[in-house]
Structure formats: structure tokens, C-alpha cells
Amino acid sequence: MNAACQTTEIANPSRHSGASRNPGTFCRSAGRSWTPASAGVTGSMARTSLRAMLAALVLLLFTTVPTLAVTIERVVSPGGIEAWLVRDEKNPIIAMSWSFDGGSELDPADRLGLAYMVSGLLDEGAGDLESQAFQKLLEDNSISLSYSAARDGFFGALTTLKDNRAEAFRLARLSMTAPRFDAEAVERIRRQILAGLKRDQTDPNYIAQLTLMRTLYPDHPYGKPARGTMETVAAVKREDLSAFVKARFGRDRLKVAVSGDIDAKELAGVLDQLFGALPAKAEPFQVADVVPAASGQVVAAPKPIPQTIMVLAQRGVKREDPRWYAASLLNYVLGGGGFNSRLMDEVREKRGLTYGVGSGLQPYEHSALWTASGSTMNEKAGQALDLIKEIWGRVAAEGITAKELEDAKTYLTGSFPLQLTSNGAIAGTLLQVQRDELGIDYLERRNEYLNRVTLQEVNALAKELMDPRAIATVVVGQPAGVTPTATVEAGPS
């Protein structure tokens, strides 16, 4: 691999109701920083113009995107391996996504980062192909093969031209059944991970997110760094990597989704070709459910930087909870709707305390969070945090309006087809629908679930769940007007 992606310890706060999640992944291109185009714009006229343009763009997109119509087939191979398929003959492309239960949460305490390291090595040589030969075949045949490790699962993704599918399936099978873990590749990937971790020690966003998870889950695997530490990554041995593959890649923990130019009959054979040689059962494991330890604490990580990074969290709603759809709509109004949310309107637009602030629902297999995040000038940190919590409390006490609910429904139902604009996106969404056990008809019924939520249900949930006094807060920087209940080391400057 050429470079490790920067990953975060909590998921993207902008994710508010989609079926897909964003696991940490090893990738080949470095991440890019993004600065809001409006960062230098001031004045009510400019803000009004920007909001009008955004509203017009959303309206245009919603009126031009066709109604979602996806036919999902359940395919079972002769060997009993199941996959969900959306057939698309418009383009000669096949995309596959698959996962095994259990991710970084299962890393041994002295080998944290093991799952992440495996994800970076499976395409670094397999069978009789060393790293360069394996990578050359992928490149020469325009095959994209990648792996990623999240807290609750280990993920694979394959995209290939139809004409090159035989080679793509062969290489994917080898990567799972016969990874080489050659010394050169192992040490190269280890150096990349260690270099990334060293950079993270000075990244205030990473520090904030990691500190938050440690605060919320002090005695649970969720509180451990998913990519490990300098010491634990350095301790991983080749036999640890091989043992991970042998223990975790069992067909009983496998889910598969496919989209593209392949029919059910051919896919049935491909499933056995790809996964049939894997063990029938993975090694058993148990991870306890846990309630986040959010009790109003404020944890400071002092760091000499000009801005304060703020991350906040309280108990959230798990994906299988019937209240998920009410929570998704409520979160859109609170902070998931960008410029249409209350947090952005009050904290940025009216008071100019931040360039951006948002909230999101973070459902894990064994817990759930409701998070918010943003940044502000050090001297305004106390004011910004107080305002965020005030808005949180106001929504809890008063709820939202009927118009806000209707606008949230319009956006969340109308924007959903935009998440399914490629075979890869469809396969990824189907995979998460399976993992969440939402049913093969979920894509057809999702908007119905949202549209039937009542204002009374949303506001009852707000009153029951939202509690500004229970929010756990982490601040990194030199925040004025903030009285911490605990202080932690922010790492080297």
C-alpha cells in the first residue's frame, strides 16, 4: 500500500439516517483538507444568498432524481452462501461488498490495531504472488480491491469490469484464503501506520475524538484506539496477522451484497468460488453491550493552538430501536441538516461563533451515541459550548415545529436516491441493511418509515432522551470560559 488514510475514532457527525456506515479504511490517496467556501463571507446579504443557492440546488436535485426503484434478489449458492443482488446491465461493471462480524473491538489489549493492520495487508501479496505482482494484476485489469476494519466488523470491497471478473474473483479469493504477510510488506505497512499515528498525536481533531471515546467507554473495547498505539502496532507479529484471518473469516459471520452486470445463476457459483474455502465457523466471541458514561463531565486536553476543538456526546438510539426514525428526523433539525439546522443557524449564522457545527446519530452494535462537534476561537469557547447545550436543552423541553418536521422528512426522503448513484454505493448500502437486519424490502419501505413518524413521537423522544446535563464534552485547545472536570495530556505539540 502507498498510504494509510487518516481515520477518526467516531463516525462522521453528518451521518443522520442513511443505512451505510463509514468504517476506517486503508486507502491509496492521502486525505484532503476542506475549507468552507463561505469561510470569508460576512454580512446578512451574503448569508441569505448562500442559503438561497443551497435551497435551490437541493430543490433541483430532488425534482430531477427519479423515484427509487431497486429490485433486490436473494441468491444462495450451492454451498449455502447467501448474497443480496441488484442487477444492473446498463454498465459492464460488478461491485461486491462483504463483511465479517467482529472488528477492532476484538483486538487483544497488547495488539491494538491488529484488525486495521490486517486490512492494509490482504492485497499486499497472496498465494504465489508477492506484493508487486499482486498489485500489478489489480492495476493491469482495472480491479479495485480494498479492505477496512471498523469497530464491529471487517469489510471487503471489490469493483471490476465484467470482462475482467474471473481475474478479480481469483485475486479476491486469494487475498482472503492465502495472504502472504511477507516481511517486507508487513514492515512497510507497519511504518505507514506508525507514521500516521505519530501525526495523529499532534492532530487536535483526532485527540478530541479519541479522548471522547476513552471518556465514554473507559472499560470497554470502544474506548480503545481502533488503529492501535505506537507500542501495540510495533508489537504485532506475522503469526498474529495469520491468526486473525483464521479466527475471524468464518462463513457463519459473513454477509455479501452485489450490484452490477451479473445474474443470479453466475453469482451463485461466484459465491462458492470466493468464500467456499473459508472455515465454516469463525472462532466464537462475545462483546458486552454498554451504556456510554456520559454524565456532564468536561474533559480538557490543553494544546497551544488558536482554535478550540469541541466534541460532545450523550446516549443515543441504536439502529434496531423503533424510535430510530424519529431520532433521525429530530437530529436533522438539531444539527444534521447543515444550514437548515438549529445549531448552524444559532451558533454560526446568528452569532458567528464557528465556521461549522453539526450533530449526528452514531449507532454501534453494542452502544449508541448522539454526538455534536465543531470548532471556535479559544476566547469564544465557553460561549459556544454554553449555546450548544442551551439549544440542546431547548429542543428537549420544547420539541420541534410541524414545519421543521415536514422539512426534515422532505430532505431525508428526497435525498436518499442520491446515495445510490453507483454500483459500489448500492452494494455498500445493501450490505449495511443486512448487517442491521432491516429486511430485504427496506429500501422500498424506508421513506414510509420516515413519513409516518408524528410530531408527537419526535417531541416525546426529545423530552425523554435529550439531556444537556448529561452531555460529555471534550475540548482541545486553550478554551476560555470553560471549567473542566478533568484534564488529560494532549500529546506532543
Using one digit for the tens of pLDDT, what is the confidence trace for 190-200?
999 999 999 99
- The CATH number that domain 73-275 falls under is 3.30.830.10
How far, in Å, CA of 191 to CA of 454, rounded? 53
Would you state the pLDDT for residue 491?
63
Contact 268, 304 (CB under 8 A): no
| The pLDDT value given to residue 70 | 82
| Sequence ranges of the chain with CATH classification 3.30.830.10 | 73-275, 289-417+439-487
Q: 273: part of which helix (H) or strand (E)? A: helix 264-275
pLDDT tens column, 272-293: 999 999 999 999 999 999 999 9
**What's the whole-number mean pLDDT along residues 237-253?**
98
Band the pLDDT of 266: cuts 50, 70, 90: very high
C-alpha angle 74-76-81 in degrees, rounded to nearest 5: 120
**DSSP character for 360?**
E
Tell me the average pLDDT across 257-263: 98
* pLDDT of 13: 29
Name the packing angle between helices 455-465 and 402-414 (round to 10°): 100
| CA–CA–CA angle 15, 18, 19 (5° rounding) | 125
Q: Model's pTM, two decimal places?
A: 0.86
State the Cα–Cα distance between residues 224 and 228, nearest whole angstrom.
Answer: 8
CA neighbor of 417 nearest in space, from 382, 391, 444: 444
Q: How far apart are CA 306 and CA 372, in angstroms?
A: 21
Residue 454 CA to residue 47 CA, distance in Å, equals 32
Q: Is pLDDT larger for residue 223 or for residue 7?
A: 223
Please state the CATH superfamily assignment of the domain spanning residues 289-417+439-487 in this structure.
Metalloenzyme, LuxS/M16 peptidase-like (3.30.830.10)
Cα(340)–Cα(14) distance, integer angstroms: 13
Q: How far apart are alpha carbons 475 and 489 in whole angstroms?
A: 12
Cβ atoms of 213 and 299 closer than 8 Å = no
Q: Is the pLDDT of residue 10 over 90?
A: no
> What is the pLDDT averaged over residues 212-223?
98
Interval 85-107: pLDDT, tens: 999 999 999 999 999 999 999 99
CA distance 430 to 97: 9
**What rounded mean pLDDT belongs to the chain?**
88
Q: Write out the three cell numbers for 399.
A: 420539541
Q: Is the pLDDT at 58 greater than 60, yes or no?
A: no
Phi, psi values for residue 473, rounded to 5°:
-125, 135
N-to-C CA span, the chain: 29
pLDDT tens for each residue of 356-391: 999 999 999 999 999 999 999 999 999 999 999 999
Counting beta carbons within 10 angstroms of the beta carbon of residue 302, is it exposed (0 to 12), middle (13 to 18) or buried (19 or more)?
A: middle
Average pLDDT over residues 135-162: 98
pLDDT bin (cut points 50, 70, 90) of residue 352 is very high
Do the beta carbons of residue 356 and residue 337 sit within 8 Å? no
- pLDDT at res. 163: 98
For 431-451, the pLDDT digits (tens) are 999 999 999 999 999 999 999
Instruction: Give the residue, 148 or 70, on which the prediction is more confident.
Output: 148
**Are 261 and 91 in contact, with CB atoms under 8 Å apart?**
yes
